[in-house]
C-alpha cells in the first residue's frame, strides 16, 4: 500500500485501516493486496478491532491464537496459504462470523480446515466446507482445492514478512 511507509501520516489515514471517532482502529481491510508473510499476533491486541479482512493474499503459517483477544465480529482469512488449524480459543469465541449462534461453536465458521474448501473459505448458514478430491488438497480457509504437487511448490516458496504496527 502506497501510504504504509509514510510514518508521518496517522494510522487512521492509512489505506485499508478504519477508525472510530476516538481514533481507535476498528477495521483492517486488505483483501487481494498481494500481502506475503505471516499474520502478526500483535493484531490480536488491537482492543477495538471488529473487522479483519486479509482474504485473497499470500499469507502463510498459522492463525495467531492472540486474535481471540480482539473483539472481532467479522474475520476473513480465506484464499491464503495458511496451515495448521484454527486456534481453540478462537473457535470458542462467540460472535466471530456468527459463531456461537444457538450455543453452537464451530472452527469451520472461522476457516475451512485443510483438505476442505467453500466459496467463502469458511462455513456459513448457506454453505458447508466440502472435501477436496483425493488427489487434491487445500490450505486453511481455502476457496478452492489444488493438486497436491502444485500446493507443495507454492507453500514452500519464501515470502516477505507482514506486520501491523501497534
Structure confidence at residue 1 (pLDDT): 56
Beta strands in 121-163 (DSSP E): 130-131, 136-137, 146-147
Residue-averaged pLDDT of the chain: 88
pLDDT at 25 over 90: yes
The number of beta carbons lying within 10 Å of the beta carbon of residue 129 is 24
pLDDT at 161 over 90: no
- Distance linking the first and last C-alpha atoms of the chain: 17
CA distance linking residue 116 with residue 125, whole number of Å: 17
Q: Which residues pair with 43 in a beta bridge?
A: none
> Which of 53, 20, 32 shows the shortest CA–CA distance to 164?
53
User: Residue 136: which pLDDT band, with cuts at 50, 70 and 90?
Assistant: confident
Q: Give Cβ neighbours of residue 58 (< 8 Å, ≥ 6 apart).
A: 34, 35, 36, 80, 81, 159
> Which of 55, 16, 61 shows the shortest CA–CA distance to 39?
61
pLDDT tens column, 44-53: 999 999 999 9
Q: 135 vs 160, which has greater pLDDT?
A: 135
Amino acid at each position: 500500500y502506497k501510504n504504509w511507509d509514510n510514518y508521518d501520516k496517522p494510522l487512521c489515514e492509512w489505506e485499508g485501516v478504519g477508525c472510530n471517532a476516538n481514533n481507535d482502529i476498528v477495521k483492517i481491510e486488505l483483501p487481494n493486496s498481494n500481502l506475503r508473510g505471516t499474520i502478526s499476533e500483535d493484531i490480536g491486541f488491537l482492543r477495538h478491532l471488529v473487522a479483519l479482512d486479509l482474504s485473497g493474499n499470500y499469507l502463510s503459517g498459522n492463525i495467531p491464537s492472540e486474535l481471540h483477544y480482539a473483539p472481532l465480529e467479522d474475520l476473513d482469512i480465506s484464499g491464503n496459504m495458511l496451515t495448521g488449524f484454527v486456534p481453540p480459543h478462537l473457535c470458542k469465541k462467540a460472535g466471530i462470523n456468527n459463531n456461537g449462534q444457538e450455543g453452537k461453536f464451530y472452527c469451520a465458521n472461522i476457516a475451512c480446515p485443510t483438505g476442505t474448501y467453500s466459496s467463502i473459505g469458511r462455513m456459513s448458514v448457506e454453505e458447508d466446507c466440502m472435501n477436496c478430491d483425493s488427489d487434491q488438497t487445500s490450505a486453511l480457509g481455502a476457496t478452492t482445492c489444488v493438486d497436491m504437487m502444485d500446493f507443495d511448490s507454492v507453500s514452500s516458496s519464501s515470502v516477505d514478512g507482514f506486520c501491523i504496527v501497534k
